[in-house]
Amino acid sequence: MGETIFDKNTNLSEVNFIAKPKVPLEDFPVELSRSQLPLPSLGELDVIRHYSNLAKDNLSVDTNFYPLGSCTMKYNPKLNEAVACLDGFCDIHPYQDQDLIQGSLELMYNLQNLLCQITGMEHFTLQPSSGAHGELAGMLMIRKYHDIAGNQKEEVIVPDSAHGTNPATVSMCGYKTIVVESGSDGLIDIEKLRLAVNEKTAAIMLTNPNTLGLFEEDILEIAQIIHDKDGFLYYDGANFNALLGIVKPSLMGFDVIHLNLHKTFSTPHGCGGPGAGVVGVGKRLADFLPSPIVSKRENYYLNYQIKHSIGRLRTFYGSFSVLVRAYAYILRLGRDGLLNVSHNAIINANYIKEKLKNYYNLPFPKRCMHEVVFSCSKQKEKGALALDIAKRLMDYGIHPPTMYFPLIVAEALMVEATETESKYTLDNFIDAMIAIDKEISLDLQILKNAPNNTCTKRVDEVRAARFPDLRWQESGD
């Protein structure tokens, strides 16, 4: 591993300052003295070079192919960043009078309406900070609806191909998770669903396409089964990159939907933020939205008068810079551009599937949508795990795909190329995967030691997660 900034610590008197401090160092308050703070003594240029060189060791969307399945690590146009950094957007304050932020409120109002057009929902809230936060918002609205209606609902259906946050959200909202297994085709087993649904069923949390990258072909029948028991269809929109402009969730029967603006609508994400898991609802849940939403009379205003609102979900009004980026992205692409996003994402995923299906197992070989799930079970028989293959990809300059998910696929690698990658990049990835498969027979140890060419070698991830050492140590200790 490379040097830390503390390893480069120097004597303060040796640092070249462009301008010397006007206050003698010995006159600084003791609590601000470098002798009292664990800070390295470096010049500005040394600090810039350290972090610039450190950044070169990252595998990022801007520097490397990043096929992290279910995460949609697409390239974010830099124009969106420039728009989000305009003074009128980034220099406002949430406590400003509403008359002074009409432009920002208009953007939020227009974004709500655009998302309604794209999804077919009646209303949107822009408050939630993430997909999981959006799930919580949607399920809390469903919970309050049933409570007010006097419905004795206790259970929520979650397919075994669902995102891991779904059952957690169900539990947080006081419901019991009922898991329905997938059939041999990777889709929900309709007969098992019929047996699971009853008068206690509050909702089903469904991802379509599911986490196998497959479209739930029986979605209208699924909707009928749930609605017949006065339940709701909740749409987990993490995979919405596959449906933009192709079909609206409302036409599939969904009552509530969350969208990850930081995935589908092109905001850089990772490391905990920024994010926005905006939530749209149909007519039955319109009176239960979190408050406030942006409304319009003569001017735009924050509307707190929502009849059965579940209340505020977070401070202020949402991750505003993420909303700006999403708005710019939608306006720039337009209707035809959004449709092309999904078409290209689907083409890219199926191109990878067809090129690699003779090397890696396809548990569900039908045409996929925006992502494809391989099983490394054949490679495991030769001694190489999905983990080894993912680590070895880093030596080829490629970020590992999602590993061991969905859980229903053994030794899974989930690959999502997104629409922004070129055929040249996809071919490089395909060649790397084929080369790695051959390496298993030639020199298995290369994979077991991978990554071999990165600044940090393979770490014990399980131990690091359970026993993190976050103590600061002085250089040389």
Query: What are the tens digits of pLDDT across the range 304-315?
Result: 999 999 999 988
pLDDT (mean) for 428-433 = 98
In a domain, 5, yes or no: no
Give the confidence band of 268 by pLDDT, cuts at 50, 70, 90.
Answer: confident
Among residues 312, 332, 352, the one where a domain terminates is 332
Alpha-carbon distance of 416 to 135, in angstroms, equals 22
Total count of domains within the chain: 2
* Mean pLDDT of all residues belonging to the chain: 90
Residue 60: pLDDT above 70?
Answer: yes
**Residues 444, 347: one domain?**
yes
Q: 44-58, 98-112, 167-181, 444-458: lowest mean pLDDT where?
A: 44-58
Determine the Cα angle at 309 with ends 303 and 310, to 5°.
130
**Residues 116, 163: one domain?**
yes
In a domain, 337, yes or no: no
For residue 301, the surrounding DSSP H or E stretch is strand 300-303
The CATH number given to whatever domain includes residue 84 is 3.40.640.10
Q: At 205, give phi and psi (nearest 5°).
A: -100, 115
Q: H helices within 20-164, ranges in order?
A: 44-55, 78-84, 87-90, 102-119, 131-149
**Residues 269, 388: one domain?**
no
Alpha-carbon distance of 155 to 62, in angstroms, equals 43
β-bridge partners, 373? 414
Neighbours of 406 (CB within 10 A): 24
Sign for the CA dihedral angle at 338, 343, 346, 351 comes to negative
**Residues 239, 275: one domain?**
yes
pLDDT of residue 477: 42
In a domain, 436, yes or no: yes
Predicted structure pTM score? 0.89
In a domain, 9, yes or no: no
Amino acid at 426: L
Which value, to the nearest 10 degrees, does the dihedral of the CA atoms of residues 401, 405, 411, 412 take? -50
**Residues 390, 437: one domain?**
yes
Query: 153 is in which domain, residue-wise?
Result: 78-332
In a domain, 56, yes or no: no
pLDDT (mean) for 297-323 = 92
**Residues 192, 233: one domain?**
yes
Q: 18-27, 270-279, 368-377: lowest mean pLDDT where?
A: 18-27
Alpha-carbon distance of 132 to 282, in angstroms, equals 20
Report which of 183, 137, 142 is spatially closest to residue 161, judged by C-alpha positions: 183
pLDDT (mean) for 275-302 = 95
**Residues 428, 296: one domain?**
no
Among residues 287, 304, 332, the one where a domain terminates is 332
Q: H helices within 357-422, ranges in order?
A: 377-381, 386-395
Q: Quote the strand ranges of 171-276, DSSP E.
A: 176-180, 201-206, 232-237, 256-260
In a domain, 230, yes or no: yes
Share above pLDDT 90 across residues of the chain, in percent, rounded to a whole number? 74
What digits encode the pLDDT tens for the residues 175-189? Answer: 999 999 999 999 999
Residue 335 contacts residue 351 (beta carbons within 8 Å):
no
In a domain, 35, yes or no: no
**Residues 194, 114: one domain?**
yes
* Three-state secondary-structure class, residue 262: coil
In a domain, 65, yes or no: no
Sign for the CA dihedral angle at 90, 309, 120, 180 comes to positive
What 8-state DSSP symbol labels residue 3? P
Length of the chain: 477
What digits encode the pLDDT tens for the residues 121-139? Answer: 999 999 999 899 999 999 9
Alpha-carbon distance of 128 to 241, in angstroms, equals 19
Q: HSE (CB half, 13 Å, CA atoms) of 220? A: 3
The CATH number given to whatever domain includes residue 349 is 3.90.1150.10
What 8-state DSSP symbol labels residue 219? H
Residue 238 contacts residue 88 (beta carbons within 8 Å):
no
**Residues 382, 262: one domain?**
no
Residue 77 contacts residue 332 (beta carbons within 8 Å):
yes
Q: Going by C-beta distance under 8 Å and a sequence separation of 6 or more, which residues neighbour residue 395?
A: 450, 451, 452, 453, 454
Alpha-carbon distance of 246 to 236, in angstroms, equals 17
**Residues 249, 397: one domain?**
no
Hey, what are 210's tokens?
Answer: 């599911």
**Does 13 or 165 have the greater pLDDT score?**
165
If you search the block for the tokens 């395909």, which residue do you land on?
Answer: 430
**Residues 406, 266: one domain?**
no
**Residues 238, 356: one domain?**
no
Among residues 332, 350, 366, the one where a domain terminates is 332
If you search the block for the tokens 């020199």, which residue do you land on?
Answer: 443
pLDDT of residue 475: 44
